[in-house]
């Protein structure tokens, strides 16, 4: 019996795969747990249409991420923090500070997208911003005395 997997099934395949399975396995295990659909021509066509939509959406997301990376290229953010003697900051530069600095440039980024080493003194640093799978941008961060 041919079935389309709705979800990943260990030992069988990933969601969206068309597989041939024993009739008893399908009727007694896969169908009751709502893991598969019967592989009819209409269901297969529907699956192909859905895959095309997902691919189109992913291509748009990737294109948007590439454009955003170009906007971030060469950007230097300025963060002002209180510092004591010897250029040591009171506290540190957080991802919130970086997000706020990006907002001043009208760029919206989520905190979880930013990766940076701890910044605890005045100077120039870099932060990596993961925009999409395999696409990231690096921005310079200038930490100045407030």
pLDDT digit string (tens) for 92-116?
A: 999 999 999 999 999 999 999 999 9
**Residue 56 burial by CB count (10 A; 0-12/13-18/19+): exposed, middle or buried?**
exposed
Do 58 and 73 share a domain, yes or no? no
Q: Provide the domain limits for residue 116.
A: 68-145
pTM value? 0.71
pLDDT at 86 over 90: no
Q: Indicate the pairing of strand 114-115 with strand 123-132.
A: antiparallel
- Residue of 41, 40, 37, 42 whose CA lies nearest to 16: 37
**pLDDT tens for residues 39-62?**
999 999 999 999 999 999 999 999
Do 85 and 138 share a domain, yes or no? yes
Average pLDDT, the chain: 95
Longest CA–CA separation in the chain, Å: 76
pLDDT at 85 over 90: no
Query: Which CATH number goes with the domain that contains 93?
Result: 3.10.430.100
State percent of the chain over pLDDT 90: 95
């Amino acid at each position: 019996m041919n079935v389309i997997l709705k979800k990943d099934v260990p030992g069988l395949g990933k969601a969206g795969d068309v597989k041939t399975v024993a009739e008893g396995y399908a009727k007694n295990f896969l169908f009751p747990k709502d893991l598969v659909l019967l592989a009819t021509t209409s269901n297969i066509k529907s699956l192909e249409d859905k895959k095309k939509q997902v691919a189109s959406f992913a291509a748009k997301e990737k294109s948007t991420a590439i454009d955003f990376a170009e906007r971030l290229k060469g950007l230097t953010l300025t963060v002002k923090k209180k510092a004591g003697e010897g250029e040591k900051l009171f506290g540190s530069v957080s991802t919130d500070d970086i997000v706020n600095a990006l907002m001043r440039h009208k760029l919206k980024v989520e905190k979880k997208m930013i990766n940076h080493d701890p910044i605890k003194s005045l100077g120039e640093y870099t932060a990596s911003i993961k925009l999409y799978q395999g696409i990231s941008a690096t921005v310079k961060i200038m930490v100045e005395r407030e």
